[in-house]
Chain A
Amino acid sequence: DADVTQTPRNRITKTGKRIMLECSQTKGHDRMYWYRQDPGLGLRLIYYSFDVKDINKGEISDGYSVSRQAQAKFSLSLESAIPNQTALYFCATSESSGSSGRWQYFGPGTRLTVT
Chain B
Amino acid sequence: AQSVTQLGSHVSVSEGALVLLRCNYSSSVPPYLFWYVQYPNQGLQLLLKYTSAATLVKGINGFEAEFKKSETSFHLTKPSAHMSDAAEYFCAVGGGTASKLTFGTGTRLQVTL
Hey, which bits of chain A sit against chain B, CB under 8 A? 4, 31, 33, 35, 40-45, 48, 58, 90, 92, 94-96, 99, 101-109
Of B44-52, B63-71, B75-83, which stretch is located at the interface? Answer: B44-52
The verdict on B74 contacting chain A, using a C-beta distance below 8 Å, is no
Asked if A102 meets B104 with Cβ closer than 8 Å, knowing A40-B9, A94-B99, A108-B43, the reply is: no
What is the number of contacts between chain A and chain B, taking CB atoms within 8 Å?
56
| 0 or 1 for each of B63-107: is its CB under 8 Å from A? (1 = yes) | 000000000000000000000000000100010000111011110
CA distance A103 to B91 in the complex (A): 12
Closest to A91 in B: B43
- B interface with A by C-beta (< 8 Å): 9, 32, 34, 36, 42-46, 49, 51-52, 90, 94, 99-101, 103-106
Known A90-B44, A109-B43; judge A99-B104 contact (CB<8 A): no
Q: Are B94 and A102 in contact (CB under 8 A)?
A: yes
A106 contacts across to B, CB distance below 8 A: 36, 43-45
A33 to B94, CA, bound (A): 14
Question: Nearest Cβ in chain B — how far from A56, in angstroms?
Answer: 9
| Min distance, Cβ A7 to any Cβ of chain B, angstroms | 14
Question: Inside 8 A of B51's CB, which chain A residues have their CB?
Answer: 99, 102
- B43–A103 CB distance below 8 A: no
CA distance A48 to B94 in the complex (A): 14
A51 → chain B closest CB, angstroms: 12
